[in-house]
Amino acid sequence: MIDTGADTVLIPRGIARRLGLRPIRNTVAILASGEQRAAISYMGVLEIPAIGYRDEIEMTAMTDGGDSNHILLGRNFLREFLVTIDCANDVVHYQRVGDRYSPPVDDE
């Protein structure tokens, strides 16, 4: 899921544990509602083969969660891309910043 309001990639704590991610600090996550929750920041490799992305990146997990499988792509990931959301076709296009711009192609 894309979350332009999130500073970092947000992952479930259970996934961080299963992957053995390296914690780097305790932090506080501020939700859209303004509520503050204890969280842990990790460093880990995020890989999204469909767009050719693989890099070490900071990820945050709430300390009171862990069963979800949803990952939110925050601004520390999104700032590397020009993101085009095609709602009509239910598609998101990612183009690396710095690559020559080529608009999404309508192949219909």
State how far the alpha carbon of 77 is from the alpha carbons of 23, 36, 64, 67, 80, in Å.
Answer: 18, 22, 24, 23, 6
pLDDT given for residue 101 in this prediction: 58
CB of 95 closer than 8 Å to CB of 82: yes
pLDDT in tens, 46-103: 999 989 899 999 999 987 765 678 899 999 999 999 999 999 999 998 988 876 656 5
Q: Is the pLDDT of residue 108 over 90?
A: no
3-state SS, residue 31: coil
Residue range 26-30: average pLDDT?
91
3-state SS, residue 68: coil
pLDDT given for residue 88 in this prediction: 93
Residue range 9-13: average pLDDT?
92
pLDDT given for residue 107 in this prediction: 58
Nearest Cα residue to 61 out of 22, 14, 18: 14
State how far the alpha carbon of 57 is from the alpha carbons of 12, 82, 99, 101, 106, in Å.
Answer: 15, 18, 21, 25, 32
Q: Which amino acid is at 74?
A: G
